[in-house]
A and B are shown apart, each in its own frame.
Chain A
Amino acid sequence: MTKRLVQGNEAVLLGAVRAGATYFAGYPISPSSEILMQASAYAAAHPELRFLQAEDEIASANAIIGASLAGAKSFTATSGPGFSLMQEAIGYAHKVGVPCVFVDVQRVGPGTGMPTMPGQGDILQTRYGSSGDYTSIVFYPSTVGECFEYTIHAFNAAEESRSPVILLSDAFLGHLNEVVDLDTIEVPVVPRTLERLASGSTRLFSGVLTYEDGEPATADADEFIRQFEAARLAREEAARRYAFYEYGWNKEADTLVICFGITRRISAPLAPYFALFRPIRIWPVLQDELREVAGRYRQIIVIEGSEGQYASVVERVLYRDVQRVPLLGGRMSLEAVREGLDRIGLLPAELAAQSASPVG
C-alpha cells in the first residue's frame, strides 16, 4: 500500500482488522459512526468479520462479550452516552475476564451534550465508570497513524490481560484525515488467549462471585479478595508491557505541559516554550514515569478537554499542585489554549504576540 488519506475512525477499524478482530457490534452515535459504517462495509466484502448493528449500546457491549467467549476477537465503538450505557457490561467483562475492545470517540457531555464536538470528559469514566473495583487498561492515540497502531495494542493488551481494554479517541481525532501509509506500521499481533466455548470443558462464566466449581461465593470476603487481587495483578503485569508515552519538546524549559489525544496536536505550537509529557497509556496511570519527568520541572500545566479530570490524577500521583487549562464546550483550538495559559499567567510573551490561528 502507498500513502493515502485515512480518517481517524477508519484507522481504528483497519487496526482492529489487522489485530485479527472477527466480530463487531455497535449502535450509530456521532462521532463514532464511521467505525460502525466502515465495519459493515468491510464485513460485506470480508465475511470473516461478523457485523451486528445492535438495538442499543447495551446489546452491543454484551454481544462483543458473547462473541469473545465464543472465540472471536471482538470490539465495539461508541461515544458519550453510549459509552455510559456500556459501563455495566465493561464491569462484567472485568469480573469474568473477557478480552475485548471498547472504542470511545469522546464528545462533549454530560447527557446528549454536544454530539459532534470533541471532548475529553471520559478520562475518569474509563477508569471508574462501572460499579466496584477493577483495573482498566486505556490507550489514547493522537494521530491517525497512532489510531491504527494503538488499536492493535489494545487488542493485544486485551488478550494478555484477559480484560476489556478501552481505546479513547475524540470527535476531532476520529474525523481527522491524515496522509499515512498504514503498511509501514508494524505491531506484532498477540493470538487468542481464552479457550473458546464448547471446547470440552464445563466452565461457568459468571458475573456473580463464585468458587471454582460454580457454587456462589457471594458472602465470602476472602474469596472476593483472592479473585480481586489475582485479577489486579494479572492486569497490572500485562499493562507494564504497554507503558506508552511521549516526552519531548523543550526539555530545558522550566514548565512541563501534559496533554494527550487531540490536545497534544492543538498544543504543538507550544513546543519551543515548554517540555511535553504525553501519556498514551492513560490507565493504569504512568505513575513512575510521571514522577520521574515531573520532578525536573518547576511548574506543571495540564491542557485537556475537561474541567480537570486528568489534572486531578496528576496532582494525586505527584502530591503537588498543577495548573489547569480546560478546553470546554468543544472549543479545541490554539486560541483557546492561549487564553487558558493567559488566564493562569503562563502564556509565553512571544506566543501572545502572534496572531490568532484556529489550529496549531
Chain B
Amino acid sequence: MAVKDKLKEELFPTIWCPGCGIGLIMTQLATVMDEIGLDERNTVIVTGIGCTGRMGAYMRFDSVYTLHGRTLPVAEAIKTVRPELNVIVVSGDGDTASIGGNHLLHSIRRNPNITVLCNNNEIYGLTGGQAGPTTPKGTNTVSSPAGTVASPVNLQGLVNTNPQAYYAKTTVYHQGQMRRAIKEAIDWPGFSFVDITSQCIENNGRRIGFPSANEMLMYFKKEYRQAPSAARHLEHHQLGIVKGSPEAAVPVAPTAGGDGHSAE
C-alpha cells in the first residue's frame, strides 16, 4: 500500500482554492493512515459542511458527509454500533465550534473513542469570508467590517474540561508535528481533538494583509512556538499536546459517605 492508495486521485484537482491549507491536512492524514494500516474495512470518515467537508469525497473510504454541524452525533453513533472501527471526523472550525458547538461540548464529556481533526482557518471560507467562532477578536471580515467583537472559542479549554481527553495544537506549516499529533490522536483511547491552524488565502488572508498563502505559512512558522513538553496548558500561539489520562478521576454520582470523586 502507499499513501496515494488512500486518495481518489482520479477526482483531482480538488475543489479547494490554490493556496488552501486543507490539502496539507489530507496529505498528512493519508500518510498516517497508510502508516498504521487504516483502510476501507476498518475506518470510516465523517465530515461536516464547509470546504473541509469535501475531504471525505477524495479519500478511499466509506465516508459520511453530514449536515452542517452534525459530525459528532453521527460519528459517535457509528462508533457505538461498530466499536471495532476507527472513526475519524474531519471538519472546519465553523462546523465544529459554532453550529456544532453543543455537540462538541457533549461529545467531549461522553468521551467516545473517536478522533476529530479541526481545520481551523479562523473564517467561514466556503460562504465567502464571514467571521467564524475562532476568528481572532478585532478581525475585519465580510460580516465584521469594523472588526469582530467577540473572543474566539477556547477549543483547548473546552476539550480539556474532560481530564481523559486528548488535545493537540498544530499548524499546516508544522507538517511533522501535525502528522505525529494525528497518529497519536487516532491511537488515543478516548476523545481526541487535533486543532490545526491553517490558511484561507482567498476569503480571509488577503483581506487581513497577506499577499499569498506562502506568507500565511511563513507567519505560522514565525509566530508559533513549541510548548515545553510537560506543559499542562498551551499559551497563545504555542504548539503542543495536552494529554489527559484515560485513568484520570472524573466526578461520580454522589453516595452517602462518598467523596464524589473516583477513578473511573
Query: What residues make up the interface of A, taking CB atoms closer than 8 Å to B?
Result: 22-23, 25, 50, 52, 54-56, 58-60, 62-67, 69-72, 74, 88-89, 92, 196-208, 210, 213-216
Q: Which of B41, B76, B105 is A200 in contact with, Cβ under 8 Å?
A: B41
Q: Is B42 an interface residue (CB 8 A)?
A: yes
Complex contact B76–A63 (CB within 8 A): yes
Known: A65-B74, A198-B82. A88 touches B63 (CB 8 A): no
Q: Do A55 and B102 have beta carbons less than 8 Å apart?
A: yes
A196 near B82: Cβ-Cβ < 8 Å? yes
Q: How many interface residues does B have (CB within 8 Å)? A: 39
How far does the alpha carbon of A199 sit from the alpha carbon of B78 in the complex, in Å? 13
Contact check, B74 vs A50: say whether CB atoms are below 8 A apart: no
Q: Per a CB cutoff under 8 Å, which of B43, B59, B105 touches A55?
A: B105
Known contacts being A55-B102, A59-B103, is A202 close to B8, with CB within 8 Å? yes
Checking A25, A52, A63, A92 against B67 with a beta-carbon cut-off of 8 angstroms, the contacting residue is A92
Beyond A52-B77, A62-B70, A215-B11, whether A70 also contacts B65 by CB under 8 A is no
B63 touches A205 (CB 8 A): yes
Assembly CA distance A213 to B57 (angstroms): 8
Which of B's residues lie within 8 Å of A, judged by CB? 8, 10-11, 15, 40-44, 46, 49, 56-67, 70, 72-78, 80-82, 85, 102-103, 105-106
* Contact B64–A69 (Cβ < 8 Å): yes
Tell me the smallest distance from the CB of A197 to a CB of chain B, in Å.
Answer: 5
Contact partner, A67, options B46, B56, B80, Cβ 8 Å: B80
A213 to B12, alpha carbons, bound, how many Å?
12
Chain A residue at minimum C-beta to C-beta distance from B110: A52
* Contacts known (A88-B67, A197-B44, A208-B65); A64 close to B11, Cβ less than 8 A: no
**Most-contacted residue by chain A among B63, B67, B75, B102 (CB, 10 A):** B67
New A-B pairs, 11, CB < 8 Å, besides A54-B73, A70-B81, A214-B57: A23-B77, A25-B73, A59-B102, A60-B73, A63-B77, A64-B77, A70-B77, A72-B81, A197-B82, A203-B63, A214-B8
CB distance from B108 to the nearest CB of A (A): 11
For the residues of A in contact with B, the DSSP-based class is mixed
A205 and B67 form a contact (CB under 8 A): no
| In the bound complex, CA of A65 to CA of B42 (Å) | 19
Q: How far is the CB of B56 from chain A (nearest CB, A)?
A: 6
B-chain residues with CB within 8 Å of residue A205 when the two chains form the complex: 62-65
The one of B10, B42, B49, B74 in contact with A66, judged by C-beta atoms closer than 8 angstroms, is B74
- Chain A residues within an 8 Å CB radius of B76: 52, 63, 66
Q: Is the CB of B80 within 8 A of A23?
A: yes
Shortest beta-carbon distance, A265 to chain B, in Å?
Answer: 36
**A202 CB contact (under 8 Å) in B40, B49, B65, B102:** B40
Q: Which residue of A lies closest to B65 (CB)?
A: A206
B60 to A207, Cβ gap below 8 A?
no
Bound together, the chains give a CA A92 to CA B74 distance in angstroms of: 12
Residues of B within 8 A of A213 (CB): 8, 10-11
Question: Shortest distance in angstroms between B65's beta carbon and chain A's nearest beta carbon?
Answer: 4
Q: Which residues of B lie under 8 Å from residue A65 when comparing CB positions?
A: 66, 74, 77
**Contact A197 B85, beta carbon cutoff 8 Å:** yes
B64 touches A67 (CB 8 A): no
Q: Which 5 A-B pairs have the closest CB atoms?
A: A66-B77, A66-B74, A70-B81, A214-B57, A55-B106
Instruction: Please give the distance in Å from A218's CB to the nearest CB on chain B.
Output: 10
Chain B residues whose C-beta falls within 8 Å of the C-beta of A197 in the assembled complex: 44, 62, 64, 78, 82, 85
Residue of A at shortest CB range from B10? A213
Q: Which of A62, A67, A200, A206 contacts B57 (CB 8 A)?
A: A206
Q: Is the CB of B73 within 8 A of A63?
A: yes
A59–B67 Cα distance when bound, in Å, is: 11
Distance of A330 Cα from B72 Cα, bound (Å): 37
In the bound assembly, the distance between CA atoms of A200 and B102 in angstroms comes to 33
Question: For B74, what are the chain A residues with a Cβ–Cβ distance below 8 Å?
Answer: 62-63, 65-66, 69
Q: When chains A and B are docked, how far (Å) is the Cα of A197 from the Cα of B40? A: 9
> Chain B residue with minimal CB distance to A54?
B73
Residues of the A chain whose Cβ atoms lie less than 8 Å from the Cβ of B70:
58-59, 62, 89
Which residues of chain A are near B78, meaning CB under 8 Å?
66-67, 69-70, 197
Contacts A201-B62, A215-B57 hold; do A62 and B67 have CB atoms under 8 A apart?
yes
Q: Given that A52-B77, A70-B78, A213-B11 are contacting pairs, would A202 and B62 also be in contact in the complex, using a CB cutoff of 8 Å?
A: yes
CA distance A121 to B213 in the complex (A): 54
Q: B63 contacts A204, CB within 8 Å?
A: yes
Cα–Cα, bound, A60→B102 (Å) = 12
Instruction: Tell me whether A52 and B85 are in contact in the complex, defined as CB-CB below 8 angstroms, given that A62-B66, A200-B40 are known contacts.
Output: no
| A residues in contact with B72, CB < 8 Å | 59
Q: B15 contacts A203, CB within 8 Å?
A: no
* Cβ A66 vs Cβ B65 within 8 A: no
- A50/B62 in contact, CB under 8 A: no
Q: Is the pair B102, A56 in contact by a Cβ cutoff of 8 Å?
A: yes
